[in-house]
Amino acid sequence: MSAPREPRTALQAWPTGFGGAFLLLILLTLIGCVNYALSLGYGLTFLLAGVWVLSAAQALRAARELTVTVQVPGPVEAGQDLPVTLRARGGRGGVLRVTLASTQGGAAGSVALDGSGELTLALPTRTRGPLDVTVALRALDRLGLWHVNLPSPDPLTVLVHPAPEEPAPPPPTRTRPGQGEGAGRAPGDEEFAGLRPYQSGDSPRQVSWRHVARTGQLLTRETDAAQGSARHLDWTDTTGDPESRVSRLSAWVHALTARGEAYALHLPTEQVPLGAGEAQRQAALNALALQPPLPPPAPPLKVAAAPLSGPALLWTLLALTVTLAPGVMRQPWWLSVLIAALLGHSLLRARSARVTPLPTWLLALLAVAGGAALNATYGTLLGRDAGTAFLALLAALKTAESHARRDQAVLTLLGLFVTSTGFFFSQGPVTALYTLLCAALLLTAATTRLGTPPPLTRAELGARLRRTGRLLALAAPLTLALFVLFPRPDGPLWQLPVQGQNLTGLSSEVSAGTFTNLAQNPAVAFRADFRGPVPPPAERYWRGPVLENFDGVTWRQVRGNAPMPSVEATGEPLTYDLTLEPSGTPWLLALDAVVRVPQGSVITGAFQAATFRPVATRRRVTLVSQPALLGRRESQDRLRFDTLLPRGQNPRTLALAQPWQALPPAARVQAALDHLRQGGFTYTLSPPLLPEENRTDAFLFRSRQGFCEHYASAFAVLMRAAGLSARVVTGYLGGELNPDGNYLIVRQQDAHAWTEVWLPGQGWVRVDPTAVIAPARVNTDLRTALTRPTASVAQSRGTLDRLRLRLDAWQNRWNSVVVEYDGEQQTALLSRLGVQGGAQTLWWLVVPALILTLLPAYAWARRAARPTDPAQRLWQDLTRSLGASLHPGETPGAFTQRQAELHPHLAPLLSEAARAYHAARYAPGSPDAALRDLRAAVKAVRGMRHRARR
């Protein structure tokens, strides 16, 4: 038979308003990561999710260990604030949130707990009489994401004294006559009348300290006076409504008490006998406070929102400044100046109360003007660049008008959202570390929302950062499990507009100067990892847009429904992985001829690989190319179109090519190359400007200086003038081999243009006229070709170049393992681990993985929840053995008495445990003996409870 068990209400954690908004932020960032394949964004999202989950455990732990006592001082006068003091013990690492409510108003506040905490709230009072105060207690985590409702203490009843009339007339001089022997005297201050035991409220001057020293007992001297000198206050001495009468009588009571005179008070419902001193004053004011009719309760006052203190704003400004700093490198300069000015104003406001928040109308004007300026700069507010810049502006505007603690919560959420948008621009390891720092600072600033924020000192910042770092470390296993197992979709939900301001690359059209600009840009276009030998430099032609429409100045792409030309393989296939940087274009740069592309991509009729959606973020794709004869069977309409030239232009070029039409097709190509080789042409990035009319004539016969687009365009015009089908192909040539990773780095400066000519029996044949002028452009790199056009070996690398390649190898490894971790790599990883199946199998794996990853955090929470004092630890073991907990404000003695009523057979052991606990905690000397007795009592209680359950 089991012993009766005390019914116990299970503690439950619920999200706060801030916690709900935090969860919504997690869901929004998760949707963004799913849509835009932001791999590092998944990491940040899952890290915040881990913080959200662990905060619930922190709130529950604080609630389980928390005991609260409530103290209220003596009565106060109507119109004064009633101070209510709450002392908390336990709940280490949590926050106590207190809400006071009464019929005359309310108050609320928080205090952070580090083993103990104290909070005093001022409750407003407006009318006299009994005031019932209810106390609601909630335990929260340090971030304020979760709350646990604690059992409420019994309602408090406080008597509110009437406010004295100011100014009041002097008290009446009427005295009370004496009757009979001994009746002529009354309590007063004229003569000694005897000694009596000390009572609370007696003046220390009336205590007979001589008797205290001799007997050790507190005795108070009594004095009296002639009864005729005692004042008599009567209800009939006042006029007006009851509240006016009570107020005047209260003023007379205060005045007579201040003068030390004795008085009596007669009210319609009560009589206060003669007396003097503090006890008499309290008795009189209590009677006046309860004198009917009591005034009706006033409408309760609305509790004002908690103000945002200067230190809390300073913490938040520090975190936001670090978060918004990277935007300086990518947003307009005027926006950076405006954001700095808004943050500076907020900083001054945090340091000085004389600086007021900016008016709402000015902030609204700045928001509208800033949005209009960004729209004019980027052409939209919905794209990546404009959207993130506008979000940074809104965050800065919010700091300028923040005045309440709820505004700090909004700033924290805005800062975390701005942090996540940084992955649109970069997902490198440096960005990952910086994002982690921003998240830690923002979460650290969020801990100042509750309680009294400490000053912003280096020591306090370090302590709070260490606490936040410990929380993030506990969330790391959960983050890793979700990062690996969370299903990755194959396609986006919608497409993000990407402005071209920060993106450079190939265009769908080419005219003089296009590739000259790209040649000055060292940014990485893509990286290529080969699953086999790396092709030699002469075979590293990366095919991009194919341009067939020529108007005399510009070459453009042609889209149509022509039949697919033939592809006849002549060599072994070559497999390689491309890591494409964001370009805003759909092109997949492939070696000739691409024969296999990833899902969601196509091979066009011009043998160009393209994807269905632009490359807006870093993307990794696998391609297969194979040497082949291209287009031996080609559409005749396309071949005719590729011989067209604009009428009336470039007569000298036409005249030059006219005699070549009698030569065989291959000889026509050679004749044009010979003309370039022997014509004194120069390879340069700074050619002279060419006219709009007869541009090819100007280049071939006057300037003879140009870059790849000049030579490819002029050669295609010569071939068309000679009667052959020709077109311009753009893409990239070459690539820098990184020996640390055995992969190619292709940069924007490697952009190139060449010509394709259709020859009977051979199909489309690549002809690179630039190689005739500068062979080093094909055999080496751009830098060597510009200085030594005929060189066959590239310039040697210096120490800085080798260091740069080593860093790029690390970056490439990071990209392959972390940034490009997608559904395909996820499936491959699980296959290597022996797990087969699709997304449904992954969901089954997520649940046990979450449980396993939360076990370390649970063990840490349990360990940290144990009190440091050995007596408190043993007492905690006792309460757990009984399956009960201390009520708020309950002492150990009261707890054991309550448990003894539920478990009578344990009463002697519980009494011994309480005695030993008090001795160990408060008795002088060594507590070792008391601890042994307490340990034995706890062990005996545990054993008896175990036998009772069996």
| Residue that is written with structure tokens 């009427």 in the block | 174
Residue 790: strand, helix, or coil: coil
DSSP code for 82: E
Q: Which residues contact 730 (CB under 8 A, 6 or more apart)?
A: 506, 507, 510, 515, 544, 545, 546, 547, 751, 752, 753
| CB neighbour list of residue 828: distance below 8 Å, 6 or more residues apart | none
d(CA 437, CA 320): 11
Residue with tokens 């970056």: 811
- Helices (H), ranges, 447-528: 458-485, 514-518
Rounded Cα–Cα distance for residues 542 and 593 (Å)? 10
In 17-66, beta strands by DSSP E: none
DSSP string, 705-768: EE-HHHHHHHHHHHHHHTT--EEEEEEEE--EEETTTTEEEEEGGGEEEEEEEEETTTEEEEE-
Beta bridge pairs of residue 745: 527, 736
What amino acid occupies position 284? A
CB count, 10 Å around CB of 868? Answer: 8
| 551 classed as catalytic | no
User: Which entry of 147, 161, 710, 752 is annotated as an active-site residue?
Assistant: 752
CB contact at 8 A, 338 and 393: yes
Of the candidates 529, 768, 781, 808, the residue annotated as catalytic is: 768
Omega before residue 10 within 30° of 0, cis: no
Q: Beta-strand (E) ranges in 90-128?
A: 94-102, 105-112, 116-124
Cα 622 from Cα 635, distance rounded (Å): 29
CA distance 304 to 622: 60
For 365, 644, 727, 917, the CA distances from 558, given in Å and listed in that order, are 47, 13, 11, 90
Closest among 156, 172, 269 to 230, alpha carbons compared: 172
Compute CA 807 distance to the chain's CA centroid, rounded to the nearest angstrom: 29
Contact 566, 632 (CB under 8 A): yes
Spatial separation of the C-alpha atoms in residues 232 and 261, rounded to whole Å: 11
* Whole-angstrom distance, CA of residue 152 vs CA of residue 119: 16
Helices 799-814 & 429-446 angle (0-180, nearest 10): 60
Q: Which residues contact 58 (CB under 8 A, 6 or more apart)?
A: 93, 94, 141, 142, 146, 861
Rounded Cα distance between 599 and 605, Å, is: 18
Amino acid at 43: G
Q: Which amino acid is at 922?
A: Y
For this structure, is 141 an active site residue?
no
Are 506 and 544 in contact, with CB atoms under 8 Å apart? Answer: yes
User: Is residue 752 among the annotated active site residues?
Assistant: yes
| C-alpha to C-alpha distance for 907 and 230, rounded to whole angstroms | 57
Distance in angstroms (rounded) separating the CA atoms of residues 728 and 730: 7
Residue 160: which residues within 8 A CB-CB, separation 6 or more? 75, 76, 77, 78, 82, 125, 127, 128, 129, 130, 131, 289
Residue owning tokens 């009960």: 884
Bridge partners (DSSP) listed for residue 223: 192
The residue type of 514 is: T
Could you tell me the CA-to-CA distances from 682 to 479, 695, 707, 750 in Å, in that order? 57, 17, 9, 19
Alpha-carbon span 65 to 90, nearest angstrom: 5
The Cα 363–Cα 849 span in angstroms is 47
Catalytic residue among 224, 407, 697, 708: 708
Q: What are the residue numbers of the active site?
A: 708, 752, 768
